[in-house]
Amino acid sequence: MNMNTLFSLQNKVVLVTGASGGLGSAIVDTMAAYGAKVIASDRTNQYVAKNGVVFIACDLSRNEGIDKLVEQAKAVYGRIDVFVSNAGVQGPAGPIELITDDDWDLVMSINLKSALRLCSALIPDMAERGQGSVILMSSIAGLRGNKAIGLYSLSKAGLAQLARNLAVEWGSKGIRVNAISPGLIRTPLATELLENEQFMQRRLLATPLRRVGEPEEIAGVAVMLASRAGSFISGQNIVVDGGTIISDGN
């Protein structure tokens, strides 16, 4: 085994959804830096293309939009080797009994249904080639109770279970499927929390590493799962949170 190529993504074609956000853009940039040919997708083009990245706009709340994304993405290089499902919305904050049917439909369609539809469209082609890696972006919110973002956490728990289901279903064809569950990461989406002094004091006391994570620390795990370094990892939900969920708060 050539250790110099353990994390290489040379000649791999990677599709990343939710590419314009803090995590998404970090994943796109890092995948490209490790040699991947990256296709980035988001609802609007806020991603500044570089490193040869190809951008495709897509509204993941619409089935026809998802189907068009698959068609266009496959047409760029003729195949997809790695799929990173990073797109997501938080939805309403507050008690879960107050969510509406529209809230449910929006959060579940973008966070969970679109991931399943994309997997269903992309994995069979990967299986024909005998290899592929799928990475679903979950959250530590899906691993513990939430009194403010219960709908979001349900969708994220569903993604972790989807990773396990697909890993079992497609493993014999050489397909690996995993989830990543980030903790609090320094992204634009987390700005309000990061600026809340009382919240941050409590959160850092409950986090053994006593800091928030950086987007590249999530991107690095995604590279590992996409590369030969992660070739015997499948069906896992990898928590990247500085130890928050294992802490006793001291």
Annotated catalytic residues are: 152
Which H or E run contains 84? strand 82-85
| Structure token pair of residue 117 | 């539809």
d(CA 250, CA 247): 7
Q: Which amino acid is at 168?
A: V
89 secondary structure, DSSP code: -
Contact assessment for residue 88 and residue 18, using Cβ atoms and an 8 Å cutoff = yes
Q: How far apart are CA 45 and CA 60, in angstroms?
A: 14
Q: How far apart are CA 91 and CA 215, in angstroms?
A: 22
